[in-house]
Amino acid sequence: MKCDHSLFLFPFALYICHYMDKIKTILITGGAGFIGSHVVRLFVKKYPDYKIINLDKLTYAGNLENLSDVVNEPNYFFIKGDICDADLVNQLFELHQITHIIHTAAESHVDRSIANPMEFVTTNVIGTCTLLNAAKYFWQADFTNHLFYHISTDEVYGALGETGLFTEDTKYDPHSPYSASKASSDHFVRAYADTYGLPIVISNCSNNYGPYHFPEKLIPLCINNIINNKPLPIYGKGENVRDWLYVEDHANAIDSIFHGGKKGETYNIGGHNEWTNIDLVKLLCKLMDVKINRTVGQSEQLITYVTDRAGHDLRYAIDASKLQKELGWKPSLQFEEGLSKTIDWYLQNSAWLKNVTSGDYQHFYETLYANR
């Protein structure tokens, strides 16, 4: 009797496929930053079978203290380095057999991009292309079990008027050097998919807030200044609108898209949570007055209107219905609850806040706000 080996081999092949799919070596870039550290923490703890390699240059925004609770996990590895360093990136691909990338590393602050655009071109555009080149080179024999996940921002879509929402089909119209560099990187990611067949996915998220947020951005800057009784600088009339999302909700959305998103697709992520800057800062003052035992209304007196940001986008707001419909994701926290948790974290982590606001921060702060 003739034996059909394929019948015996079939379950074995299935097992190998299943196993291959489970083994992932993920290069997370910028994992010592604000959002990156939440993504690293989530993946290291939730997926002990995955090997997580965090590549971060440790710029002013990168801080290994953000990851003190995962540093000893056996599936976590840190490499200090620059995503623009092609030799290093190639070595990492070769040494660790990287199968997936979650690319969060970026220069991320609009005001810094206005002061120094070239750093944004270098890291956000050239850095992204360096990673794309490595992924293309090392994966091209078979793209099947690979993914280049690019983390982007809603700022690539430009500014909305008083109504409307950004969808995945909204035309790109960036205004700041930051958003122009992010838009450029998004285009390169799509170009590598269209030209070389690189398996990619992109998500564009609205403003995040939460623990480990560097105090140059509106919410942590105001928390820090309220604690220290310093002026709360409001650009222009404070009427600009942002759509705020708790950072752990963003990390959960990234997890959903990483595992369930369709290759080649874009997903918008947002909080359905629009606030003018002035209303947000007033709410923050109210919550903080209670938490630090001040008379309600006291912190609000710190509000100071200053010269507007050049090219200041009026309004951002995200339509995240595609993500909700396809992958069932939605934000878990109401804004007041998220803000309250965030304030508590900053009050309980005064050493972290002190460390990141010493040294260079003082110089940055004085230079940026001196002429406003």
- Is 178 known to be catalytic? yes
Question: Other CB atoms closer than 10 Å to residue 226's CB: what's the count?
Answer: 25
> Which residue is associated with the tokens 């360093």?
85
Q: How far is CA 221 from the centre of its chain?
A: 18
The CA distance from 185 to 143, in Å, is 21
Among ligand TYD, ligand NAD, none, residue 251 binds (CB under 5-8 Å by kind) = none
Among ligand NAD, ligand TYD, none, residue 34 binds (CB under 5-8 Å by kind) = ligand NAD
Task: Indicate which single residue of 51, 62, 211, 284 sits in contact with ligand NAD (rule: CB under 6 A).
Answer: 62
Q: Quick check: 131 binds ligand NAD (CB under 6 A)? A: no
- Is 155 known to be catalytic? yes
**Choice among 56, 82, 107, 154 that is catalytic:** 154
Task: Indicate which single residue of 153, 266, 268, 342 sits in contact with ligand NAD (rule: CB under 6 A).
Answer: 153
The CA distance from 164 to 318, in Å, is 9
CB closer to ligand TYD out of 110 and 284: 110
Task: Indicate which single residue of 76, 78, 149, 214 sits in contact with ligand NAD (rule: CB under 6 A).
Answer: 214
Residue type, 29: T
Instruction: Return the DSSP state at 124.
Output: I
* Residue 90 CB partners (closer than 8 Å, separation 6+): 134, 137, 138
Q: Judge contact between 331 and 272, C-beta under 8 A.
A: yes
Largest CA distance in the chain: 91
**Choice among 149, 157, 178, 246 that is catalytic:** 178
CB closer to ligand NAD out of 146 and 217: 217
Among positions 95-154, residues that touch ligand TYD (CB under 6 A) are: 110
Instruction: Return the DSSP state at 318.
Output: B
Task: Indicate which single residue of 40, 106, 183, 320 sits in contact with ligand NAD (rule: CB under 6 A).
Answer: 106
* Residue 89 CB partners (closer than 8 Å, separation 6+): 55, 83, 130, 131, 134
**Choice among 155, 186, 248, 255 that is catalytic:** 155
Cα–Cα separations (whole angstroms), residue 362 to 88, 229, 340, 365, 370: 32, 16, 26, 5, 11
Q: Pattern 205-244, binding to ligand TYD, x per CB under 6 A?
A: --x---------xx--x-----------xxx----x-x--
The CA distance from 153 to 241, in Å, is 15
Site residues (CB under 6 A) for ligand NAD? 29-30, 32-36, 56-59, 61-62, 82-84, 104-108, 123, 127, 151, 153, 182, 205, 207-208, 214
Known catalytic residues? 154-155, 178
The binding site for ligand TYD (CB under 6 A) comprises 110, 207, 217-218, 221, 233-235, 240, 242, 277, 309
